[in-house]
Amino acid sequence: MTGADAVVSALKKLCVEHVFGIVSIHNMPIFDAINRDGSIKIIDTRHEMGATHAADGYARATGKIGVVIASTGPGTTNTITGLYEASYASSPVLLITGQAETAFYGKHHGYVHEAENQLQMLRTVTRRAESPRFASQIEEFILQVASDMFSGRPQPGAVEIPIDLQYNNTQTGTHQFAPASLNPPDSSLVTQAAELIGMHKKRIIIAGGGVTRGKASQALIQFAEILNAPVFTTANGRGVIPEDHPLCIGNLYQSRRLHDDLKDCELTIAIGTRFQVGVNGSGANLKPPGKLLHLDIDPASLNLTYAADLAIEGDARQLLEAILLQLNAEPGNDPFLQKIQQSAKGVKLGLRKRIGPDYEGIMESIRANLPRDGNIVRDSTVPAYNFANQLLEIYEPGTFIGPNSGAIGPGLPLAIGMAIGTGKKTVVIHGDGGFMLHATELATAAQYSVPLVVCVFNDGGYGVLRGLQKRQFDGNMFEVDLGFVDFKMFAESMGVTGFNVQSLEEFKSAFAQAMDEDGPCLLNIDMRELEPMQGSILPEG
């Protein structure tokens, strides 16, 4: 076998079914080996950053490893933003890339696509990056990097392979993938947690992405129901408890109005969240009320933003199941729960009033036409901050994703990976400014008939930044107007069905038609013709 065949052998041991990438002179042997083997499907994207975001969306939606294949130098630098985002999102994305042949590596001869410091660059955005020096090391290095990626909080990894090693002959690998084992929770700390919970009746739960990744949804629901405790979710934790469940408060923990009603809370139980801090440090001053019991798989996240009264390292499902076995707690205080429920209803009513009837109708049309387990991807855009992040109900874990780093633009490629990984209809909520960063990936969606409905809310610029500038620079706005693009024509030029939308009724009709299509569709929504939102809810974390 060749070094490239060793790559395929490793990927098969990782149970990889799809890879995303762009072919180049420094990875052609790998693509050739994948095609000769025939068991892995290649998704040819239009940009390496798009490929990396797609692999990220695939990983988040499936829980499997997301693989991107790029070329050395410019191809790899294009992946860095995607790896940066995957790191933020705790997403296991593996980059396999090329490198100059070993005879020229490190010689500074200006070899084509030479990237002498590529490995050091990759190590800034991955948990582990390696570069074999012999073809016999390729399979071993890929499997070792993959194992580290799944150790604790998932993180991306990378392996660069000099082009001559991809062609060189080597022996069939005997290495096996050894996934990192989960250490059982500390039994004494679990006992302390059960006792701490039993000491209080006014409790709240905050569930984050660790509950999603740990497949701990059912344990969480059982835990919440026994305690009769309201459950807040982070953006990454949405769906771990259905948002029509009476105990689910949703992604409203950042609401200051709700925090006023939480002052008499005695215990906050935070599971699988690192309390990510938002713009201008927002969130850091919203200290969890009462005592804090913090459960997380990443020890670095414990006692980070807030000091915990009791912090336990461990997998969310294992910890919840262990605590449930020892739990002897009375159900939570009914008046306290009802106060939080009523306060949450008030916040949501206020948010609905602010977005106005057109956007409320759009939101309800999306939810009514999408199955409970349908996928929703949101970009960093005004509609996401105003209704998708908090009001658009999510019912299943892992069905709502978006850029964790606050990046603008990953929405479309994230959705492509999510739709390919799950095979389910996926709705993308995008702004026109962010959409333009990866608009060419529509051609990828068309090529593979990806089941997407791309909703581009078009206001001719960067709407979120307009709001921030207006607030922070005495109403002055600059470099945020991009012109109004006819995205329907753009989509159709790439073989994607397009619709122009200028009213709520047109949206309802177009969205219903798009849901009936097998392949991708795009709705170009003219925000100038809709009743404007009364206020912009800007990003707070």
Are 160 and 72 in contact, with CB atoms under 8 Å apart? Answer: yes
pLDDT at residue 177 in the model:
87
pLDDT digits (tens, 9 = 90+) for 302-341: 999 999 999 999 999 999 999 999 999 889 889 999 999 9
Put simply, whether the predicted model's pTM sits higher than 0.75 gets the answer: yes
pLDDT at 43 over 60: yes
Question: What is d(CA 34, CA 5) in angstroms, rounded to the nearest whole number?
Answer: 8
Give the residue-averaged pLDDT of 105-125.
Answer: 83
Torsion angle of the four alpha carbons 516, 518, 520, 522, in this order, in degrees rounded to the nearest 10: -20
C-alpha to C-alpha distance for 231 and 344, rounded to whole angstroms: 11
- Greater pLDDT, 86 or 481: 86
pLDDT at 541: 34
Q: What is the pLDDT of residue 278?
A: 61
Q: Is 187-332 assigned to CATH 3.40.50.1220?
A: yes
State the pLDDT at residue 352: 94
The reply to whether domains 3-167 and 187-332 share a CATH topology is: yes
Q: How many whole angstroms separate alpha carbon 84 and alpha carbon 405? A: 8
Query: What is the residue extent of each domain of the chain?
Result: 3-167, 187-332, 347-529
Choices 3.40.190.10, 3.40.50.970, 1.20.59.10, 3.40.630.30: CATH for 3-167: 3.40.50.970
Lowest model confidence (mean pLDDT) among 137-141, 370-374, 465-469: 465-469
Helix (H) or strand (E) holding 28: helix 28-37
pLDDT in the model for residue 540: 42
Q: Answer yes or no: is pLDDT of 249 > 70.
A: yes
Partnered with residue 67 across adjacent β-strands are: 94
**Separation between Cα atoms, residue 13 and residue 178, nearest integer Å:** 10
Inter-axis angle of helices 80-88 and 48-62, to 10 degrees? 20
Q: What is the pLDDT of residue 106?
A: 74
pLDDT band at 45 (very low <50, low <70, confident <90, very high): very high
Instruction: Check pLDDT > 50 for residue 232.
Output: yes
The average confidence (pLDDT) of the chain is 93
Q: Which CATH class is domain 347-529?
A: alpha beta
CA 359 centroid distance within chain:
24
- The full DSSP string for 422-465 is H-S-EEEEEEHHHHTTSTTHHHHHHHTT--EEEEEEE-SB-HHH
Query: How confident is residue 474, by pLDDT bands cut at 50, 70 and 90?
Result: confident
Amino acid letter for position 540: E
